[in-house]
Amino acid sequence: MGTEEIADRLEAIAEELDDLVTDRLRTATSMAAAGEEPDPEVLGEERRIARARRAVAKAAAILRPPEPE
pLDDT tens per residue across span 19-46: 999 999 999 999 999 999 988 999 999 9
Asked if the structure places residue 45 within a domain, the reply is no
**pTM recorded for the entire structure:** 0.85
Asked if the structure places residue 2 within a domain, the reply is yes
Residue 67 clears pLDDT 90, i.e. is over it: no
CA torsion sign for 33, 39, 42, 47 is positive
For the chain, the domain total comes to: 1
Other beta carbons within 10 angstroms of residue 52's beta carbon come to 15
Asked if the structure places residue 37 within a domain, the reply is no
**Which strand (E) or helix (H) includes residue 3?**
helix 3-33
Q: What 3-state class would DSSP assign to 67?
A: coil
Other beta carbons within 10 angstroms of residue 1's beta carbon come to 6
Asked if the structure places residue 1 within a domain, the reply is yes
Containing domain of residue 7, as a range?
1-30
Tell me how far apart the alpha carbons of residues 55 and 58 are, in angstroms, rounded to a whole number.
5
Asked if the structure places residue 38 within a domain, the reply is no
